[in-house]
């Protein structure tokens, strides 16, 4: 149990285009999902906390108009990178908490590697 | 906010030796401390976690210790194997919605 999927696993796009990444909890309901960004050889940096049915909470320094987050259901959160630029190239990973287990354990998706040309 | 420091950044051991990774945290309200293993290009995998009401937890070759007074916790891997080679991250959280703050990571290399 506690499986989180992400789609796509990798994407290459041209500068100026928008890219949508999906994060799904497959076998549990997740009222809270988290979006992280990880640059090569670096740690995971939290971008935002996504709460089902409400606006996301962004970390300091993360542009909410550039990284649009939608958490429309208990099993799906999406991250849209708008007007992507080469500096947005990174590994984006989501995680989800199992609401019914009532624990702090976060289960991570497999990540999406974004390359902006 | 929470700040987590992790040491060492790299650790090289011989197969069969023990490995210890240490983390300190700043927020005394933090109450949950997971450890993740991440292989290159893969997702972080939870390997063990500990809560603030426990001082030590063990799972086969892996153990975690927590010193709340000193605000530090450590990962211990015994009888290391080459497949233990990966990047290990500690993390801490104290808020009700589980926001994690990660350490910088430790690259563990186990030589056969």
| CB-based contact B27:B2 (threshold 8 Å) | yes
User: Is the Cβ of B112 closer than 8 Å to some Cβ of chain A?
Assistant: no
Burial degree of B100 (CB within 10 A; 0-12, 13-18, 19+): buried
pLDDT digit string (tens) for chain B, length 112 residues: 789 999 999 999 999 999 999 999 999 989 999 999 999 989 999 999 998 888 999 999 999 999 999 999 999 999 999 999 999 999 998 665 678 999 999 999 999 9
Q: How many Cβ contacts (< 8 angstroms) between chains A and B?
A: 50
What pLDDT digit, counting tens, does each position of A70-83 carry?
A: 988 889 999 999 99
- Check CB contact under 8 Å for B89 and A107: no
Q: Which residues of A16-47 are buried (b: 16+ CB within 10 A; e: fewer)?
A: eeebebbbbbeebebbbbbbbbbeeeebbbbb
Mean residue pLDDT across chain A: 91
User: Is the Cβ of B32 closer than 8 Å to some Cβ of chain A?
Assistant: yes
For the cut 80, the answer to whether the pLDDT of residue A103 exceeds it is no
Residues of chain A contacting residue B35, judged by C-beta atoms under 8 Å apart: none
CA distances from A68 to A79, B25, B75 (A): 6, 30, 36
- Check CB contact under 8 Å for A43 and B43: no
| CB-based contact B43:A111 (threshold 8 Å) | yes
**Better-scored residue on pLDDT, A102 or A71:** A71
User: Is the Cβ of B2 closer than 8 Å to some Cβ of chain A?
Assistant: no
Of B44, B45, B97, the CB nearest to A32: B97
| CB-based contact A28:A98 (threshold 8 Å) | yes
Q: Report d(CA A63, CA A44) in Å as an integer.
A: 17
Tokens 């939290």 map to which residue?
A46
| CB-based contact B73:B64 (threshold 8 Å) | yes
- Band (pLDDT 50/70/90 cuts) for residue A54 is confident
Give the side-chain half-sphere CA count within 13 A for B83: 1
User: Is the Cβ of B103 closer than 8 Å to some Cβ of chain A?
Assistant: yes
Mean pLDDT of A46-69: 91
CA angle, A65 then B96 then A106, to 5°: 75
- The per-residue pLDDT for B1 is 79
- The per-residue pLDDT for A100 is 66
Q: Report d(CA A96, CA A28) in Å as an integer.
A: 9
Interface of A with B (CB under 8 A): 32, 34, 42-46, 49, 51, 91, 93, 95, 97, 104-111, 113
- Band (pLDDT 50/70/90 cuts) for residue A99 is low
């Amino acid at each position: 149990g506690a499986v989180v999927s992400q789609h796509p696993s990798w994407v290459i796009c041209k500068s100026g285009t928008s890219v949508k990444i999906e994060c799904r909890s497959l076998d549990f309901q997740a009222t809270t999902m988290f979006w992280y960004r990880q640059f090569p050889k670096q740690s995971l940096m939290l971008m935002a906390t996504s709460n089902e049915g409400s606006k996301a909470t962004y970390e300091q320094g993360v542009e909410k108009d550039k990284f649009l987050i939608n958490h429309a259901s208990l099993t799906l959160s999406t991250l849209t990178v708008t007007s992507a630029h080469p500096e947005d190239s990174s590994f984006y990973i989501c995680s989800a908490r199992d609401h019914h287990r009532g624990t702090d354990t976060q289960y991570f998706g497999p990540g999406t590697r974004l390359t902006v040309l | 906010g929470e700040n987590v420091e992790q040491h060492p950044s790299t650790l090289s051991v011989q197969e069969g030796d023990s490995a210890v990774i240490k983390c300190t945290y700043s927020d005394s309200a933090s109450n949950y401390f997971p450890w993740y293993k991440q292989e290159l290009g893969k997702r972080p995998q939870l390997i063990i976690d500990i809560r603030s009401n426990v001082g030590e937890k063990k799972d086969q070759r892996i153990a975690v210790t927590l010193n709340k007074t000193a605000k530090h916790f450590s990962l211990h891997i015994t009888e290391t194997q080459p497949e233990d080679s990966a990047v290990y991250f500690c993390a801490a959280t104290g808020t009700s919605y589980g926001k994690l703050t990660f350490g910088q990571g430790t690259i563990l290399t186990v030589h056969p």
